[in-house]
Amino acid sequence: MSLKIVFMLFTAVFLLSHCGGGDGDDGGYMSPAKFNVSGKISGDVLSGVTITLTGAASASVVTDASGSYSFSNLVNGDYAVTPSLTGYSFSPATRNVTVSGAHQTNIHFTATAVATPMYSISGKVDGAAQTGITINLTGAASASTVTDAGGNYSFSHVENGSYTITPFLAGYSFHPASLSVTVHHANVTGQNFIAVASTGAVVANHLSAAEFYSIPTQYIHAAKSDLHIAYGHTSHGSQLITGMEALASADSLYAWNQGGTAGALDLRDGAMAGDVGYYPDWVNNTRGYLGKPNPATGRGIGHPDVNVVIWSWCGQVSSATAQSIISEYLTPMAQLEADYPGIKFVYMTGHLDGTGTAGNLFLRNQQIRNCCMANHKILFDFADIESYDPDGATNFMLMKANDNCDYDSNGDGYQDANWAAKWIASNPTHQLTGLASTVCDGCCAHSQGLNCILKGQAAWWLWARLAGWRD
């Protein structure tokens, strides 16, 4: 064999042995070595911990029942391993790991349960009762407590979440009936209620207006299906109508018309001419509208479906005497109730006139209130509603408020401020401000649009009560 052939054979063998050969498809490429990173969680929790790997590669796994975890097929490089589980902290929070030609084991962590932050909810009950009132807490958690001698109550160890607070004591109602609160990383204070003794009377006042959005929808529908209301009034009494019109325009749930068509409330505005300050006309007009009593139904034969009659005053209460209130109002009303037992007659107080507690109006309104409370009557307390702004914290009647919501802010005897205008300016985005803005200037007779809205809300509260709410 020639030297040339021998040299060629030698070269071929050398190339095959050093550069690969045969029928493999990797061209002689050698895959890099792969390694594992593993460890374990110990402490207050084992399973369900998410372990996140970042760095030269990214991945996540969840620990098993023993707390173990593992990442496989990792190439050499730098990594960070981080455990996480809501309600727990970990030590260390993160571990940095370098893979360099070997598995990395014993990358361990210790879990510690994090205590849930706890807060408190507190408030007070004022009014006709304070001590021994049960306060119930429902929502994210449930609990109950009882007010102390000063009406104070508190719930401690309350977690973040939404709750409802509801007071209860037999023989009393509360304003508001309940409060919704949200605990969010802070204590909640000032959750207050006013207790009102149950007398058997149904009284629509400023507290009733504040409860408007708490009226169950089923009783709005019940009022629309069951009540047929005849209303006699002059200009001041139109405030109820203006408020109810605004509410109906904002939400068809509160629709009303004369006759109750299309599922609306049957409210016959101006059914009887005049107002209750003109005696004996108002009595005669009532009987003339209702017709003779039907002994079988207790209603009038002229309008046999009418089962509610309501009259308002103009300004006559301011000049009335104690005797005239009895002889020209309370006694005739009681006689109508006796003659038409199938009809609910609604009493009313007179509008504010700026004379405060020293004026005759206050005495006569109290006379009407006392009669209604003592004899379980139905009262629309017109004066009380316009004595308070929606916050209900100040009785502006004591500050000589009048029917336009003007009052004496500094005690100098002059009405120099207006509670309705002031409240709206302080609450520009409030729902009531929006509703009041729909009442055109001058359209709330003798008063402000906000006052008419509150009168409308109190009226719907009354209709719901007469339709069976809280019976």
- The pair of three-digit structure tokens given for residue 431, joined into one six-digit string: 């729902």
What is the per-residue pLDDT across 88-104, written as a single tens digit (0 to 9) for each? 999 999 999 999 999 99
pLDDT (0 to 100) of residue 177: 84
Cβ atoms within 10 Å, residue 125:
26
Q: How far is CA 413 from the centre of its chain?
A: 38
Strands 299-300 and 293-294: antiparallel
Residue 25: pLDDT band with limits 50, 70, 90: very low
- Cα–Cα distance measured from residue 467 to residue 471, given in angstroms and rounded to the nearest whole number: 9
Residue 116: pLDDT band with limits 50, 70, 90: confident
What is the per-residue pLDDT across 208-230, written as a single tens digit (0 to 9) for each? 999 999 999 999 999 999 999 99
| pLDDT at position 11 over 80 | no
Share of the chain above pLDDT 90, in %: 85
What is the per-residue pLDDT across 384-426, written as a single tens digit (0 to 9) for each? 999 999 998 899 999 999 999 999 999 999 999 999 999 999 9
What is the per-residue pLDDT across 424-459, written as a single tens digit (0 to 9) for each? 999 999 999 999 999 999 999 999 999 999 999 999
- The pair of three-digit structure tokens given for residue 109, joined into one six-digit string: 């962590």
pLDDT (0 to 100) of residue 13: 46
What is the per-residue pLDDT across 29-58, written as a single tens digit (0 to 9) for each? 566 789 999 999 999 999 999 999 999 999
How crowded is the C-beta side of 313, counted as CA atoms within 13 Å?
27
Task: Look at 62-66, 105-109, 199-203, 324-328 and tell me which has the smallest mean pLDDT.
Answer: 199-203
- Cα–Cα distance measured from residue 433 to residue 10, given in angstroms and rounded to the nearest whole number: 102
| Contact by Cβ (8 Å): 304, 297 | yes
Question: Bigger pLDDT: 13 or 123?
Answer: 123
pLDDT (0 to 100) of residue 4: 55
All residues at 6 or more sequence positions from 356 whose CB lies less than 8 Å from its CB, including other chains: 362, 397, 398, 399, 400
Mean pLDDT for the stretch of residues 107-132: 91
| pLDDT at position 169 over 50 | yes
pLDDT (0 to 100) of residue 114: 86
pLDDT (0 to 100) of residue 471: 75
Cβ atoms within 10 Å, residue 232:
24
- Strand, coil or helix: 55: strand
pLDDT (0 to 100) of residue 6: 43
| pLDDT at position 198 over 80 | no
